[in-house]
Amino acid sequence: METSEVRQRILQALEDPDASIEIDGADCNFTARVVSQVFDGLRPVQRQQRILAAFSESLATGELHALTVEAFTTTEWQARAPGGLTRLM
């Protein structure tokens, strides 16, 4: 499976053209970092389930061996950005 196909399936699953997606990996083992407003109000496991549902057949057949999903809301991602967190000294 190609990185572009992983990205496309995630975009289709989210139905959010503004989603930010970063894919690492190759062949049949990928990590996807996804930032989307669609995740607002969803627990982390629900976010992962939404994305992994788009790959159920590929995972079942072995075309895709592993897909690690890191899913964030826009607010969560902005808080992770440098300068977005307050450091206590």
- pLDDT tens across the length of the chain (89 residues): 889 999 999 999 999 988 999 999 988 899 999 999 999 999 999 999 999 999 999 989 989 999 999 999 989 988 876 654 443 43
Task: Kindly state whether residue 27 falls inside one of the protein's structural domains.
Answer: yes
Q: What is the pLDDT of residue 82?
A: 65
The number of angstroms, rounded, from the C-alpha of 62 to the middle of its chain's C-alpha atoms is 20
Task: Kindly state whether residue 87 falls inside one of the protein's structural domains.
Answer: no
Residue 58 sits in a domain whose CATH number is 3.30.300.90
Q: What is the pLDDT of residue 89?
A: 39
Q: What is the residue type of 73?
A: T
Token pair belonging to 86: 């307050």
CB 12 within 8 A of CB 54: yes
Task: Kindly state whether residue 84 falls inside one of the protein's structural domains.
Answer: no
Q: What is the pLDDT of residue 83?
A: 56
Q: What is the pLDDT of residue 51?
A: 95
Residues in the chain: 89
Task: Kindly state whether residue 85 falls inside one of the protein's structural domains.
Answer: no
pTM of the full structure: 0.81
The number of CA neighbours under 13 Å toward the Cβ of 28 is 8
How many domains, in total, are found in the chain?
A: 1
Q: What is the pLDDT of residue 80?
A: 78
3-state secondary structure of 58: helix
Q: What is the pLDDT of residue 35?
A: 93
Task: Kindly state whether residue 89 falls inside one of the protein's structural domains.
Answer: no
Structural domain harbouring 41: 3-79
Task: Kindly state whether residue 86 falls inside one of the protein's structural domains.
Answer: no
Task: Kindly state whether residue 54 falls inside one of the protein's structural domains.
Answer: yes
Task: Kindly state whether residue 44 falls inside one of the protein's structural domains.
Answer: yes
